[in-house]
């Protein structure tokens, strides 16, 4: 397989791991109002104190874990901050899941063996 195929497989597996009805939470202020570049204080003014705060393990920064709840359903949501304390990503997964996804994305692609060419 080529690098594009591996990238596609990674993206699809990441999406499968994040199975949620995002539209259910569209009106939650954390989802609708938190934007890239906001500070930690701005995020806490919108969403309140996070359920957990952790240091990012792959890329320097911090991550806030929240648990969204609506219509009897619960869904993890994270707000991730860069080393300067500014939002660089939000997603429907825990900070640990986001850290694992970052780690996997940085791993070298496995060698397909063989000498030159695609092996076919």
Does residue 11 have a pLDDT over 90?
no
Confidence of residue 113 (pLDDT cuts 50, 70, 90): low
Q: Where is pLDDT greater, at 67 or 11?
A: 67
Contact criterion met (CB below 8 Å) for 32 and 26 = yes
> Which positions ≥6 away from 57 have C-beta within 8 Å?
99, 103
Q: What is the pLDDT of residue 3?
A: 53
Q: What predicted TM-score, i.e. pTM, was given to this entire model?
A: 0.73
DSSP letter for each residue of 15-71:
HHHT---GGGGTTSHHHHH--TT-BHHHHHHHH-S-SEEEE-SSSSSEEEEEEEEET
Is the predicted pLDDT of residue 78 greater than 90, yes or no? Answer: yes
The reported pLDDT for the residue numbered 119 is 53
Asked whether the predicted pLDDT for residue 117 surpasses 60, the reply is: no
Domain ranges of the chain: 3-105
* Fold of the domain built from segment(s) 3-105: Beta-lactamase Inhibitory Protein; Chain:B, domain 1 (3.30.1450)
117 DSSP 8-state letter: S
Quick: pLDDT tens for 87-106. 999 999 999 999 998 888 88
pLDDT score at 95: 95
DSSP string, 101-115: HHHHHTSPPPP--SS
């Amino acid at each position: 397989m080529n690098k594009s195929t591996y990238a596609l497989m990674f993206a699809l597996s990441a999406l499968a791991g994040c199975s949620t009805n995002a539209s259910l939470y569209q009106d939650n202020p954390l989802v609708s109002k938190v934007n890239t570049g906001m500070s930690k204080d701005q995020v806490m003014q919108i969403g309140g104190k996070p359920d957990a705060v952790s240091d990012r393990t792959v890329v320097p920064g911090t991550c806030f874990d929240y648990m969204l709840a609506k219509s009897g359903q619960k869904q993890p949501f994270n707000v991730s901050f860069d080393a300067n304390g500014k939002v660089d990503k939000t997603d429907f997964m825990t900070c640990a899941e986001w850290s694992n996804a970052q780690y996997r994305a940085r791993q070298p692609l496995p060698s397909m063996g063989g000498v030159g060419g695609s092996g076919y």
